[in-house]
Amino acid sequence: MTVATAIHTAGLTKRYEETTVVDRLDLDIATGEVFGLLGPNGAGKTTTILMLLGLTEPSAGSMEVLGMDPRRHPLEVKRRVGYLPDAVGFYDNLTGRQNLRFTARLNQIEDMEHRIEGLLDEVGLGSAADRPAGEYSRGMKQRLGLADALVKDPSILILDEPTTAIDPEGVAEILDQIRSLAVEKDVTVLLSSHLLNQVQSVCDRVAIFVAGSVVAQGTPHQLAAEQVGHARVEFRFGGRADEGRRRLEAMDTVADVIHGKVPDSWIASLDIGTLPETVRDLVAEGAEVTGVRRVDEDLDAIYRRYFENKEVAV
């Protein structure tokens, strides 16, 4: 049976003596969703993951993973969740293929050779499969770690900084694979990262961690709207683009008109609910509007605003 909510937490808290590392975390992550935990090292992301895996006890609150409490059903949760830690480790004297065989045997997986061969090719390690893992670079070990997390065909994949030390081409390949897992196989992905552009490119929703607390969560569009109170919209004009800009600046519904990145375009800030009215008024006044496109601030700008004057938990 498919669980509509793959991960649920309510008031989840972790304290170490006087330090609160995770503070009353509320999350609902849907089946098949790619959800990003975004924040710097020490913000509470890894501790959250360890609690969800049943590897550390929460101080307060509740949690469910695939409808199960990881504290009461740790083995069942681990069988259905693939995990790639930040510092991935393997038996250096075994080859990449042998390390995956070891994981497959532990999980009693049938037809392991066919599955292992396919996974090694998917993560770009087919040609290095029979080299000792001790000879692998950090990036290659990250790739092997992703294959290792996928060996048991998990319902949930938890990735803690999965693209560390991987070259840009490899990063793009891994992010594409993460997205395809969610879309094609309905795998839920929980991705922890401090790399904003990567989170924005692959995640459906994001939670921003500041000093152990989630201060905001939602789609990048929603976070932009909450942070600045309005949307940024690019207007493209035919004919006299400067006249279009002048008319935009004269309208009560818009503010902060700046030049766009493409010719004959201008970006204005406005309440998104007023957009149809704004376009109608521009056309009625003779402006030749040839295109309208929302261009919210990227996640990097939103993230920096949340971290202004904030201290990160240690």
Number of domains in the chain: 2
pLDDT of residue 225: 62
pLDDT of residue 226: 64
Q: Quick one: 64 and 124 in the same domain?
A: yes
Find the CATH number of the domain harbouring 50: 3.40.50.300
Q: Quick one: 205 and 236 in the same domain?
A: no
Distance set, CA 9 to CA 48, 78, 157 (Å): 10, 17, 17
Please indicate, yes or no, if residue 305 is contained in any of the structural domains: no
Please indicate, yes or no, if residue 50 is contained in any of the structural domains: yes
The range of the structural domain enclosing residue 255 comes to 231-296
Q: Quick one: 237 and 203 in the same domain?
A: no
Q: Quick one: 246 and 161 in the same domain?
A: no
pLDDT of residue 227: 56
Amino acid at site 161: E
Please indicate, yes or no, if residue 225 is contained in any of the structural domains: no
Please indicate, yes or no, if residue 199 is contained in any of the structural domains: yes
Please indicate, yes or no, if residue 32 is contained in any of the structural domains: yes
Residues of the chain with pLDDT under 70: 1-3, 221, 224-230, 296-314
Q: Quick one: 138 and 257 in the same domain?
A: no
Q: How far apart are CA 132 and CA 266, in angstroms?
A: 56
Q: How far apart are CA 221 and CA 218, in angstroms?
A: 8
Are 162 and 123 within 8 A, CB to CB?
no
Q: Quick one: 122 and 195 in the same domain?
A: yes
Q: Quick one: 214 and 240 in the same domain?
A: no
Q: What is the DSSP string of 150-214?
A: HTT--SEEEEESTTTT--HHHHHHHHHHHHHHHHHH--EEEEEES-HHHHHHH-SEEEEEETTEE
pLDDT of residue 149: 95
pLDDT of residue 313: 39
Please indicate, yes or no, if residue 190 is contained in any of the structural domains: yes
Q: Quick one: 246 and 210 in the same domain?
A: no
Find the CATH number of the domain harbouring 291: 3.30.70.100
pLDDT of residue 113: 93
Any bridge partners for residue 209, and if so which? 214
Q: Tell me the pTM.
A: 0.75
Choose among 223, 220, 303, 226: nearest CA to 43.
Answer: 303
pLDDT of residue 301: 64
Please indicate, yes or no, if residue 54 is contained in any of the structural domains: yes
